[in-house]
Amino acid sequence: MKAVDDVSLEVPDGEFLVLLGASGSGKSTLLRTIAGLEHPSAGTIRIGGRVANEDPPRRRNIAMVFQSYALYPHKTVARNIAFPLEAIRLPAAEIREKVEWAAQLFGIDRLLARRPRELSGGERQRVALARALVRTPTLFLMDEPLSNLDAKLRHAARREFKRLHEQTGITTLYVTHDQVEAMGLGQRIAVMNDGRLQQIGTPDEIYHEPANIFVAQFMGSPPMNLIPDGGWLTGFHPEDVFQPDGPVPDGHYPLPITVQQVEALGADALIYGTLDAGGAELIFKQPARTSGGLAAGQSVTFCVPQTMMRRFDARTGLSAGKG
Amino acid sequence: MAAARTLSLRQRDTRLAMGMVLPAILYIVLLLGIPIVLAVVYSLNDVTTGSPAMRFIGLRNFQGLLATPDFARAIGNTFLITTCTLVGVLILGTIQAELLMRPVRGKWLIRFLILLPWTAPASLSAIAWLWMFDSTFSPLDWILRGLGLLGHPGALFGDFDNAFWLGRSGLALFSIILVNVWRLLPLGTVIILAGLNGVPRDILEQAEIDGAGYFRRLFHIILPMLIPVFGVTVLFTFVFVFSDISTVFILTRGGPANATQVLPTLAFFTGVQGGSLGRGAATALFLLPVLAAVSILILALIRRREI
Amino acid sequence: MTGLYLATALFVVFSALPFYVMLITSLKTQADIFSPDIDPFWFSQPPTLDSIRLLFEQTQFVQWLLNTAYVGLAVVVITLALAVPAAYGLARIAGGWGETLGIGIFLSYLVPPTLLFIPFSKVIAFLGLQNSLGALIVAYPTFTVPFCTWLLMGFFKGIPRDLEEQAMIDGHGRFSAFMHVVLPLAMPGLLTVVVFAFTLSTSEFIYALAFVTHSADKTVSIAVPTELIRGDVYHWGPLLAGALIASIPIAVLYTFFIDHLVAGLTSVAHD
C-alpha cells in the first residue's frame, strides 16, 4: 500500500500549484516528502535544480505552513517570526528589521508582543505566513491552511493568498481537499487519488476536460453526471443543461426525465430526476427563478449541447474526448 | 410546581454528592487531623514518654531546637540533600527520557529495569545499597581497586582498601544523595517522557523546517515547553525526598556523628529513642511549612505557565 | 546509533546494578560472600540456595510476607470503599466546591508521615491497636485515600457525561447509572487504584516502624532491615535474598500500572 505511487511533477519557477485530493489521497505525504519530513523509497527530488534527497528540511530553504499553523506557544509573535532568522544566525538588528517588515506586510505589527493563545484564528494564520516568508524561501509549502478558519474568513484569506503570490512570486505548493479553493487559487491543479496523480492542468482543463472519471466526479458541485452507454460513460455538468422551449434542437443531447425532487437553494435549484431510458439518476442545476414550475412526478425533457459532453471508457475510466 | 421539582433534583444531587464524599473526608479529617492537632499540642508542651503529664511551655521546644547545632545541621542537610537530588533528577531524567524516546529493542525489559529503583520498596532497596556501600565488602570499592583508583598510596579515592562511603561525613552525604537520585530518577524520567511525548509533532517539524538543528530545537522549543512538567517533577521529588526517613535511617542512622542527620530522622530519634515527644513533634513540625510553601509555590508557577 | 545504545546501557546498569548484585549475592556461598577481594559480580564458588533456605526456614520471612499481603489487601478494600464514591462525587456532582475540595485532598497527601507518626501512635494506642497489623490497616488509608481519590477523579472526569445522562434518560437514577455505566468503564482506573494502594502500603516504612515492634507482626518492609540485622551482625546472604524476593513482585505489579500514575501526575500540570 503506497502512500504516493509513481508521481512525476515539474513545477516551474513562480508557479502556484495546488495538490488536490481527498484524505488519504497522498497529497500531504507528497508535500511532506518534498519538505524532507518523509523519505521517498524511490525517486529524486530536485529543488532549484539541485538534488535534495539527502538534505534535511532545514537545508532546503523551504517554508511551510501547517494546518495547525504550529506557532511556538511559549514565544511571542515577534519571536515566532524571528525564529527562522535566529536559526541562520543573522545579526540582531537585521532580524528586527525583517520581522517588522514581515509583520507590516501581513498587518500584524501591533500584535508583536502577544502570545499565540491570545490570537484569533485569522491572526494566527497571518503570523504563520509572516514567519514563513520572513526569510524569502525558494519554495513555499502549505498544508490545508484554510481548514481551521471559519467559512467567512476563507474567502478573504483566499484573496490574500492570491495577492501574496502575485506580490512575492515565490513558487508555491498548496495542498487542499476543497476543489473550490483549488479552482480559485491554483495556476495549475494536480488531482491525486490513492497515491497516484490523476491529472495536472489549469483549473479550466481540470474542470472542462477531466482526464478520467475520478477527476470528472471530484470536481463540480454537484459533480458531473455519468450515463452508461454501451461500453462508454457519457458525462456532462449539471449546470450545462437547459429546458428547450420546443423540441430538442440539433446538436443537443435529449434528456427526458421524471422529476424525483426539487431543492430550492436560494440562487440555484437542484433538480433530481431519473432518465426515462435506462433509469440513470441525474442531477441538474438551474437558476432558481426558472425552476419554479417543476415538481416531483413530472415528466420533463432537458437537453445539453453535445460540445459540452464528455465520453469515458467504462472499463478504464479514461477520457475518450468529446461526446 | 415544576420549579419545586427541579430544585429538589439538584438538592438530591448535592445530597448524594455529600453522602459519597463524606466517608472519605471524615476518615481523613479524623485520622489525619487529630494527629496533626496532637503534633502541634505536643510541640507546645513538655511531654516525654516517661512522664505522662503535659506541661505547657509554649514555644520553648522550638526555641530550644533553634539553639541546638544538631538541629541547624539537620535542616541544612535536609535542604542540601533535597536540592542536590532535584538537580540530579532533572538533568539525568531529561537525558534518560530523551534516550527512551528513540526506538530501541527490548523496550519493555529496559523499562522494567530502569523503573526498578522507584518501584521497589524504599527500605529494601536501601538494603541493597547498604551492601554496595559496605565498609569491607563494597562492590564499588572492588571496582575502584581494580581500576587503581583506590587502595594504594596516592590513589584518587585514598590509600585504604575501602572508601568508607557511609563512614566519612562528606562522602556519606554524597552517598545519601546518590541513593536518592537513583531512587527518584525513574519517576522523573517517566514524567519528563510524558511531557516530551506531549510536544506536538507539528511544532517540532515546523522548527526543523524553520532551520533549527537538534540543540536549537532542544533548548529553544522543547525544554521551554516542558516547564510545567519539570514543575511537577520538582514538586513530587521535593516532597518525597524532603520528608523521607527510610534512606538515612537504614544507611547511616544519621551518622557519622550527625553528619547525615535530616529532620525526619532527628524527629524520630528525639521522639522515639530519646523519649522527648515534645521536642520530636516540634522538629517534625518544621517539615510542614516548608512542604506547604514549596507545594503551593510550584503549583502556582505551573498553572501560571499554562500554555 | 551505537552511542545511543551505549548511553542507554549505562543508565540501565546504573538502575539495575544493586538488584543484580543482590541476586548474585543471595545465591553465593558464605565464603564467596565474605571475601572482600573476590569478584562481587559473579560466582567464584558454585551458586547455592543456602541463603534462601535459611531465610525461609530459620526466620519468620514467610510470616512477614503474609502480614504484608494481608495489610495490603485490607488497605485496598478500605481505600476502594472510601475513594471511589468520593472521587465520583467530587468529579461529577460537586461542581465548584468539588475542585477546591479535590485540591485539598491532594494536598493532604503531602502531609508527611514523618510528621505524624508520634501523635498517630497515641491515636493507635487509644484505639487499642498498638503493636498489631490493625494499626497499619487503619493508618495507611490516610495517605492511600487522598492519593487514590485524586487519581480516580481524573479517571471519572474522562468518562463522557453523555453516557450517564443517556442512562438516566433510559431510566436509571444517578447512583444506579454510576454502578452500571460508570464503574465498568472506570475499570482501568479502579485497577490502578488497587495496585497503588497495594504498593504504597507494602512499601511504607515509618508507620510500620513506629507502630509495630513485635517481630511476628511486622511487615516485610521493616522486618528485613530490623530483624535480619542484629546489632553489628549482618547475615548478608539471607538479608539480600529477603530484600530482593520481597521487592520483585511489588516492582512488577507497579511497572504494569505506572502509565496511569504518570497520566495522573502530569494532569496536575494541565488542570
**Residue C95, number of CB atoms within 10 A of its CB:** 11
**What digits encode the pLDDT tens for the residues A257-302?**
999 999 989 899 999 999 988 888 999 999 988 887 888 888 999 9
| Structural domain containing residue B137 | 69-304
pLDDT of residue B306: 54
- CB spacing of C258 vs B119 below 8 angstroms: yes
Closest CA to C247 of B126, B130, A154, B105: B126
Query: DSSP for A275-303?
Result: ETTT--EEEEEEEGGG-TT--TT-EEEEE
Buried/exposed C235-246: b ≥16 CB within 10 Å, e otherwise: bbbbbbbbbbbb
- pLDDT over 80 (residue C94): no
- pLDDT over 80 (residue B144): yes
Candidate from A38-52, A69-83, C48-62, C93-107 with smallest mean pLDDT? C93-107
B225 neighbourhood in chain A, CB within 8 Å: 73-74
Structural domain contains residue B31: no
From the CA of B225, how many Å to the nearest CA of chain C?
12
Q: How far apart are CA C136 and CA C148, in angstroms?
A: 17
Give the CATH architecture of domain A224-322. Beta Barrel (2.40)
Q: With cut-offs at 50, 70 and 90, classify the pLDDT of residue C51.
A: confident
pLDDT of residue B52: 64
Q: Report, as an integer, the average pLDDT of A142-148.
A: 89
- pLDDT over 50 (residue B307): no
Contact predicate C168/C179, CB 8 Å? no
Choice between B12 and B118, residue whose per-residue pLDDT is larger: B118
Cell representation of residue A276: 426515462
A35 neighbourhood in chain B, CB within 8 Å: 209
- pLDDT over 70 (residue C69): yes
Q: Which residues contact residue A271 at a Cβ distance below 8 angstroms, ignoring those fewer than 6 apart?
A: A259, A261, A262, A263, A283, A284, A285, A286, A291, A294
Task: Report the CATH number of the A16-214 domain.
Answer: 3.40.50.300
pLDDT of residue C270: 62
DSSP state of A224: P
B38 neighbourhood in chain C, CB within 8 Å: 119, 122-123
Looking at chain C from residue 109 to 148, which residues have their Cβ under 8 Å from any Cβ of chain B?
Answer: 110-120, 122-123, 138-139, 141-142, 145-146
- CB spacing of A70 vs B200 below 8 angstroms: yes
Contact predicate C160/C96, CB 8 Å? no
Q: How far apart are CA C124 and CA A269, in angstroms?
A: 83
A62 neighbourhood in chain B, CB within 8 Å: 209
Q: Report, as an integer, the average pLDDT of C120-145.
A: 89
End-to-end CA distance of chain C: 38
Choice between C32 and C240, residue whose per-residue pLDDT is larger: C240
C237 interfacial to chain B (CB closer than 8 Å): no
Alpha-carbon distances of A198 from A118, A215, C222, rounded to whole Å = 42, 7, 73
Buried/exposed B177-187: b ≥16 CB within 10 Å, e otherwise: bbbbbbbbbbb
Residue ranges of domains in chain C: 60-270
B→A interface, C-beta within 8 Å: 200, 202-203, 205-213, 216, 220-221, 224-225, 227, 307
- pLDDT over 50 (residue A88): yes
Mean pLDDT of chain A: 90
Q: Which of B16, B122, B292 sits opposite C205 (nearest CB)?
A: B122
- CB spacing of C93 vs B16 below 8 angstroms: yes
User: Residue A47: beta bridge partners?
Assistant: A50
Q: Report, as an integer, the average pLDDT of B168-173.
A: 88
DSSP state of C28: S
B224 neighbourhood in chain A, CB within 8 Å: 74
Q: Which residue of B has its CA nearest to C88?
A: B20
**What digits encode the pLDDT tens for the residues B43-57?**
888 777 766 677 777
Q: How far apart are CA B187 and CA B119, in angstroms?
A: 9
Q: Which of B210, B221, B307 sits opposite A84 (nearest CB)?
A: B210
From the CA of B209, how many Å to the nearest CA of chain A?
5
Listed in order, strand segments (DSSP E) in chain B are 45-46, 55-56
Instruction: Kindly provide the ipTM of the predicted complex, given to two decimals.
Output: 0.87
Structural domain contains residue B35: no
Candidate from A150-164, A214-228, C12-26 with smallest mean pLDDT? A150-164
The C-alpha torsion from A309 through A313 and A318 to A319, rounded to 10°, is -20
Which amino acid type is present at position B198?
Answer: G
In chain B, how many domains are there?
1
Which single residue is written with the C-alpha cell 503570490?
Answer: A165
Q: Report, as an integer, the average pLDDT of B238-251.
A: 91
Looking at chain C from residue 158 to 187, which residues have their Cβ under 8 Å from any Cβ of chain B?
Answer: 174-175
Cell representation of residue C254: 507497579
Chains B, C in contact, 3 or more Cβ pairs below 8 Å: yes
Listed in order, strand segments (DSSP E) in chain C are 229-230, 233-234
SS3 of A248, please? Answer: coil
Residue C14: HSE in the Cβ half-sphere, 13 Å Cα cutoff: 20
Q: Which of B203, B211, B213 sits opposite A70 (nearest CB)?
A: B203
Mutate to test the interface with A, among B201, B210, B216, B222 (most CBs of A within 10 A): B210
Q: Which residue of C has its CA nearest to B283?
A: C115
Cell representation of residue C68: 504484608
Q: How far apart are CA A192 and CA A200, in angstroms?
A: 9
Structural domain contains residue B4: no
DSSP H helix total and E strand total for chain A? 8, 16
Question: What's B120's domain CATH number?
Answer: 1.10.3720.10
- pLDDT over 90 (residue B184): yes
Backbone phi, then psi, for C208, in 5-degree steps?
-60, -40
Q: How far apart are CA A65 and CA A128, in angstroms?
A: 6
- CB spacing of B16 vs C40 below 8 angstroms: no
Candidate from A170-174, A318-322, B136-140 with smallest mean pLDDT? A318-322
Q: With cut-offs at 50, 70 and 90, classify the pLDDT of residue C145.
A: very high
- CB spacing of C11 vs B123 below 8 angstroms: no
Q: With cut-offs at 50, 70 and 90, classify the pLDDT of residue A1.
A: low
From the CA of B213, how many Å to the nearest CA of chain C?
18
Chains B, A in contact, 3 or more Cβ pairs below 8 Å: yes
Structural domain contains residue B63: no
Q: Report, as an integer, the average pLDDT of A43-53.
A: 85
Paired sense of beta strands A171-176 and A139-143, if any: parallel
Q: Which residues contact residue C109 at a Cβ distance below 8 angstroms, ignoring those fewer than 6 apart?
A: C143, C146, C147, C150
Q: With cut-offs at 50, 70 and 90, classify the pLDDT of residue B304.
A: confident
Q: Report, as an integer, the average pLDDT of A120-134.
A: 91
Q: How far apart are CA B184 and CA B118, in angstroms?
A: 6
Which amino acid type is present at position B257?
Answer: A
Buried/exposed A241-269: b ≥16 CB within 10 Å, e otherwise: bebeeeeeeeebbebebebeebeeeeebb
- pLDDT over 90 (residue A207): yes
Q: Which residue of B has its CA nearest to C22?
A: B128
Structural domain contains residue B288: yes
Q: Which of B202, B210, B227 sits opposite A83 (nearest CB)?
A: B210
Cell representation of residue B36: 496533626
- CB spacing of B236 vs C36 below 8 angstroms: no
Q: What is the topology classification, in CATH, of domain C60-270?
A: MetI-like fold (1.10.3720)
**Residue A158, number of CB atoms within 10 A of its CB:** 16
**What digits encode the pLDDT tens for the residues C151-174?**
888 888 878 888 888 888 888 877
DSSP state of A136: -
Candidate from A305-309, C77-81, C127-131 with smallest mean pLDDT? C127-131
Distance of CA C205 to the CA centre of its chain: 11
**What digits encode the pLDDT tens for the residues B70-120?**
888 899 999 999 999 999 999 999 999 988 888 777 888 888 999 999 999
**Residue C31, number of CB atoms within 10 A of its CB:** 10
Q: Report, as an integer, the average pLDDT of C177-191.
A: 83
- CB spacing of B208 vs A66 below 8 angstroms: no
Cell representation of residue A136: 524569502
From the CA of B105, how many Å to the nearest CA of chain A?
23
Contact predicate B186/B115, CB 8 Å? yes
Choice between B60 and A263, residue whose per-residue pLDDT is larger: A263
pLDDT of residue A323: 59
From the CA of B214, how many Å to the nearest CA of chain A?
11
C11 interfacial to chain B (CB closer than 8 Å): yes
pLDDT of residue B7: 56
Q: Report, as an integer, the average pLDDT of A125-143.
A: 91
Is A209 exposed, middle or buried, given 0-12, 13-18 or 19+ CB atoms closer than 10 A? middle
Q: Which residue of A has its CA nearest to B201?
A: A70
Mean pLDDT of chain B: 86
Q: Please, which chains are in contact with B (at least 3 CB pairs closer than 8 A)?
A: A, C
- pLDDT over 90 (residue C114): no
Cell representation of residue B248: 538515612
A→B interface, C-beta within 8 Å: 35-37, 56-58, 62-64, 66, 68, 70, 72-74, 83-84, 86-88, 117, 131, 135
Residue ranges of domains in chain A: 16-214, 224-322
Query: DSSP for A29-57?
Result: HHHHHHHTSS--SS---EETTEE-TTS-G
Q: Report, as an integer, the average pLDDT of C216-245.
A: 86
Choice between B4 and A217, residue whose per-residue pLDDT is larger: A217
